[in-house]
Amino acid sequence: MNKTIKKRILNIINHVTTVVLFLLLISMTFFVISSKASGGEPEVFGYQLKTVLSGSMEPGIKTGSIIAVKPGGDMTRFKPDDVITFMEEDGKLVTHRVTEVVASGESVMYRTKGDNNNAVDINPVLSENVVAEYEGFTIPYVGYFINFSQSKNGALLLLIPGFLLLGYAGITIWRAIREIDLPKENAKEEKSVV
């Protein structure tokens, strides 16, 4: 009875480990391929995943985090305390909080500030330069992983779960062979005793 319980528990652990490794392989494949295909951060369910590379929005958004931003819509709709992602003049994306909305004729500009910065940003942001709105979804430290996946060595991330899966398959096969050989060895020992 005790052996059957142990065997069932090991069987469940084997199945769970296999599923986890396959899910890891599939998710790594998704992140690497989608980031390579889009030429940037991947997009999931209409949200773009952006990597945070500075500490200007800490402690709310930590350096190395990924954030989900919602692109599109009317870019003149934002009000103070909204967090927006915008394109700076040098082509760099920045995510900061709106401190003031400045209407100038038909155009709308935003004064922005990083939560961790001492002063507002020097240049106001034109509504045409706003790319998306941050809606509060953050995963800490995963941005480092995504940043690496976009590099030339990013395809190596697919090898890690693949090697783990192969290693685990090897261990499972070895255990199965051992279980098959064990009854044969016991039978040989019984014949030699008789």
DSSP string, 106-121: TEEEEEEE-TT-SS--
Domain residue spans in the chain? 1-40+151-177, 41-149
Class assignment of domain 41-149?
mainly beta
Catalytic residue among 35, 54, 56, 192: 54
What is the 8-class DSSP label of residue 124?
P
**Tens digit of each residue's pLDDT, the chain (194 residues):** 577 888 788 778 878 887 887 777 777 677 666 665 655 556 667 777 788 888 888 888 888 888 888 888 888 888 998 999 998 888 888 899 999 998 877 889 999 999 889 988 888 888 888 988 888 888 887 777 666 666 666 666 667 777 777 887 888 888 778 777 766 666 666 665 55
Q: How many residues does the chain have?
A: 194
Its pTM stands at 0.59
Known catalytic residue at 38? no
Reading phi first (left if > 0) and then psi (alpha if -120 to 50, else beta), residue 105 is in: left
In 3-state terms, what secondary structure has residue 43?
Answer: strand
